[in-house]
């Protein structure tokens, strides 16, 4: 007969992390990492002045492909739910984020977008009836501060409309993630179909906004075609399939903090591709953001009585 200590060792790690959490978290982390390529792809491959068109191609074609492959449509209440989630997760964040990028330095916009884990920690109380966690709030603030140290330059300027747009984008996606966790995924829909519903709904929401705001689509050369293909296939369809699978199988706060990887990857690509450099402050910021991401995958410590 084995001792209680040996049984705990044989059962798995004693860190408190649920079995299977780490592999799912690593897989889900690939999505914000793919999103982190958006800046470099947009600036180096895509025609300027058409950010909404880029967002439209990131959402709608992939959504339609997913619907064609799975041949699964929503049923009953899921028509409304899929439309709401598509707008909150995809349709609204895109134009608000692009507006923020136009009105704010990229570093400021990225830092405000990094407030998403904080918003989700608060929404989890109201929507998911979870207890307010000082652990989650503290690490959310740490991650946001870390991102700020990495990406905000000394000449950063603030703009009221840009700040509201950046916070609105973070709040919209935070609410979408929280509602996705609350509603789950219907049994008749696999991850690809579920992502397809939302990408299509978000793309249809963006369609009139794109042509009203930007008019005629730009000419697409080979470089732009490659960029749009990457955005639509990797940054869109594949990423959202993995993302929504992660949301439905992982704690919502664990998923939320993974979003911090997006600006970190963008900064790394800026250094590798554009020759940008990191100083001690940026390296400190990286350390804080990565610490927040790791801590977000761990359960909050419990007080010993």
pLDDT score at 303 = 58
CB contact burial 253-289 (16+ within 10 A = b; e otherwise): bbbbbbbbbbbbbbbbbbeeeeeeeeeeebeebbebb
With respect to residue 144, please indicate whether it lies within any of the assigned structural domains: yes
With respect to residue 16, please indicate whether it lies within any of the assigned structural domains: no
pLDDT digits (tens, 9 = 90+) for 43-66: 788 888 888 898 899 999 999 999
pLDDT digits (tens, 9 = 90+) for 62-73: 999 999 999 999
With respect to residue 10, please indicate whether it lies within any of the assigned structural domains: no
With respect to residue 126, please indicate whether it lies within any of the assigned structural domains: yes
With respect to residue 7, please indicate whether it lies within any of the assigned structural domains: no
Our count of domains for the chain comes to 1
Predicted model pTM: 0.84
Better-predicted residue by pLDDT, 108 or 278: 278
Q: Which residues span the domain enclosing 198?
A: 32-295
pLDDT score at 201 = 97
Q: 238 CB contacts (<8 Å, ≥6 apart)?
A: 34
Listed residue (188, 169, 201, 163) closest to 81, CA to CA: 201
pLDDT digits (tens, 9 = 90+) for 125-184: 888 887 777 877 888 888 888 888 887 765 556 677 878 888 888 899 999 999 999 999
Residue 255: is its pLDDT beyond 70? yes
Q: 190 CB contacts (<8 Å, ≥6 apart)?
A: 70, 72
Contact 256, 296 (CB under 8 A): yes
With respect to residue 1, please indicate whether it lies within any of the assigned structural domains: no
Local confidence band at 78 (pLDDT 50, 70, 90 cut-offs): very high
The CA-atom distances, in angstroms, between 1 and each of 4, 7, 142 are: 10, 10, 46
pLDDT score at 107 = 59
pLDDT score at 27 = 92
For residue 138, what are its two tokens?
């503290």
Residue 109: is its pLDDT beyond 80? no
* Least confident window among 161-165, 265-269, 272-276: 272-276
* Least confident window among 92-106, 122-136, 204-218: 92-106
Compute the mean pLDDT over every residue in the chain, rounded to the nearest whole number. Answer: 83
* Least confident window among 17-31, 221-235, 257-271: 17-31
pLDDT score at 302 = 66
Contact 124, 254 (CB under 8 A): no
With respect to residue 232, please indicate whether it lies within any of the assigned structural domains: yes
pLDDT score at 79 = 96
With respect to residue 2, please indicate whether it lies within any of the assigned structural domains: no
């Amino acid at each position: 007969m084995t001792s209680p200590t040996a049984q705990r060792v044989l059962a798995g790690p004693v860190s408190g992390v649920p079995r299977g959490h780490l592999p799912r978290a690593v897989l889900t982390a690939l999505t914000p990492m793919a999103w982190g390529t958006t800046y470099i792809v947009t600036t180096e491959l895509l025609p300027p002045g058409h950010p909404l068109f880029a967002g439209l191609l990131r959402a709608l074609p992939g959504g339609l492909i997913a619907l064609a492959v799975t041949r699964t449509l929503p049923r009953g209440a899921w028509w409304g739910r899929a439309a709401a989630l598509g707008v909150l997760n995809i349709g609204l964040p895109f134009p608000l984020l692009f507006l923020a990028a136009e009105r704010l330095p990229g570093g400021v916009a990225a830092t405000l977008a990094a407030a998403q884990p904080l918003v989700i920690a608060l929404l989890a109380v109201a929507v998911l009836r979870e207890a307010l966690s000082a652990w989650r709030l503290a690490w959310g603030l740490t991650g946001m501060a870390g991102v700020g140290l990495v990406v905000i330059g000394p000449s950063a300027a603030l703009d009221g409309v840009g700040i509201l747009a950046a916070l609105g984008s973070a709040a919209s996606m935070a609410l979408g993630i929280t509602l996705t966790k609350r509603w789950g995924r219907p049994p008749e829909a696999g991850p690809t179909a579920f992502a397809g519903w939302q990408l299509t709904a978000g793309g249809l929401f963006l369609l009139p906004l794109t042509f009203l705001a930007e008019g005629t689509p730009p000419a697409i050369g080979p470089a732009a075609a490659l960029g749009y293909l990457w955005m639509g296939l990797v940054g869109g369809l594949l990423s959202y399939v993995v993302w929504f699978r992660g949301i439905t199988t992982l704690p919502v706060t664990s998923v939320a903090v993974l979003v911090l990887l997006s600006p970190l990857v963008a900064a790394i690509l800026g250094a590798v591709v554009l020759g940008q450099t990191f100083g001690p402050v940026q390296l400190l910021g990286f350390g804080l953001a990565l610490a927040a991401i790791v801590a977000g995958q761990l359960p909050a410590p419990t007080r010993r009585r």
